[in-house]
Structure 1
Amino acid sequence: MTVQTERPDSRPAEVLKADGGERRAPRRTAAARARTTALAPYLLLFPALAATLLLLGWPLVKNGLLSFQNLNMRQLIQHLTEWNGIDNYAEVLASSEFWRVAVRSVLFTGANVVLIMIFGTLVGLLLARLGSKMRLTLLIGLVLAWAMPPIAGTTVFQWLFAQRFGVVNWVLDKLGFHSMADHNWLGTQFSTFAVVTLLIVWQSIPFVAINLYAATTTIPKELYEAASLDGAGAWTSFTSVTMPFLRPFLLATTFLEVIWVFKAFTQVFAINEGGPDRLTEILPVYAYIEGFGNQHFGMGSAIALLTIVILLALTSYYLRIVLKQEEDEL
Structure 2
Amino acid sequence: MTVHSQGATTSAPQDAPHQSAGRPKAQSPAAGPRPTPPRGGRKQLPSGWLPYLLVLPAVASMALLLLYPLIKNVILSFQDINKIEFIQRKYPFGGFANYTQLIGDSNFWTVVVRSFLFTFANVALIMVIGSLIGILLNRLGKWMRLVLSMALVMAWAMPIVASVQVFYWLFDEQFGVMNWVMRTLGFSGYEQHNWFETGLSTLTIVTLLVVWGSIPFVALNMYAGLTTVGAELYEAARMDGANGWQTFWKVVFPNLKPFFLVTTFLEVIWVFKAFTQVYAMNKGGPDRASEILPVFAYVEGQSQAHYGLAAAISVLTILILLVVMSFYFRLILKQEEEQ
TM-score by length of 2: 0.85
Distance 1:75 1:10, change over 3 A: farther
Look up the match of 2:212. 202
Whether 2:223 is the aligned partner of 1:221: answer no
Letter in 2 for 1:120: G
Number of aligned pairs?
Answer: 315
Look up the match of 2:289. 279
Q: Residues 244-323 of structure 1: matches in 2 within 5 Å? A: 244-321=254-331, 323=333
Q: Within 1, Cα distance between the matches of 2:164 and 2:26? A: 73
RMSD over aligned Cα atoms: 2.7
Whether 2:76 is the aligned partner of 1:76: answer no
Whether 2:46 is the aligned partner of 1:35: answer yes
Contact (CA 8 Å) 1:274, 1:285: kept in 2 or not? yes
Look up the match of 2:18. none
Letter in 2 for 1:228: R
Q: Within 2, Cα distance between the matches of 1:195 and 1:130? A: 30
Look up the match of 1:235. 245
Q: Deviations over 1:233-283 (max 9, x none)?
A: 433332222111111101110000000000011111111111111111111
Q: CA deviation at 1:24?
A: 6.5
- Aligned residue among 150, 169, 194 for 2:160: 150
Q: Within 2, Cα distance between the matches of 1:112 and 1:9? A: 83
| SS in structure 1 of the partner of residue 173 of structure 2 | coil
Q: Residues 131-146 of structure 1: matches in 2 within 5 Å? A: 131-146=141-156
| SS in structure 1 of the partner of residue 91 of structure 2 | coil
Contact (CA 8 Å) 1:159, 1:167: kept in 2 or not? yes
Q: CA deviation at 1:71?
A: 1.5
- Aligned residue among 91, 96, 112 for 1:102: 112
Whether 2:100 is the aligned partner of 1:90: answer yes
- Aligned residue among 151, 173, 184 for 1:163: 173
Letter in 1 for 2:85: Q
Q: Within 1, Cα distance between the matches of 2:31 and 2:185? A: 94
Structure whose CA Rg is larger: 2
Q: Within 1, Cα distance between the matches of 2:58 and 2:49? A: 15
Letter in 2 for 1:202: W
Q: Within 1, Cα distance between the matches of 2:216 and 2:262? A: 15
Q: Within 1, Cα distance between the matches of 2:46 and 2:149? A: 46
Q: Residues 115-130 of structure 1: matches in 2 within 5 Å? A: 115-130=125-140
Contact (CA 8 Å) 1:68, 1:86: kept in 2 or not? yes
Distance 1:219 1:161, change over 3 A: same
| SS in structure 2 of the partner of residue 49 of structure 1 | helix
| SS in structure 2 of the partner of residue 218 of structure 1 | coil
Q: Within 2, Cα distance between the matches of 1:9 and 1:288? A: 83
TM-score by length of 1: 0.87
Contact (CA 8 Å) 1:172, 1:181: kept in 2 or not? no
| SS in structure 1 of the partner of residue 189 of structure 2 | helix
More helix by share: 1
Distance 1:227 1:71, change over 3 A: same
Q: What percent identity do the matched residue pairs reach?
A: 53
Q: Within 2, Cα distance between the matches of 1:203 and 1:12? A: 75
Gaps of 5+ in 2: 1-21
Q: CA deviation at 1:82?
A: 1.4
Q: Within 1, Cα distance between the matches of 2:271 and 2:121? A: 10
Contact (CA 8 Å) 1:71, 1:81: kept in 2 or not? yes
| SS in structure 2 of the partner of residue 179 of structure 1 | coil
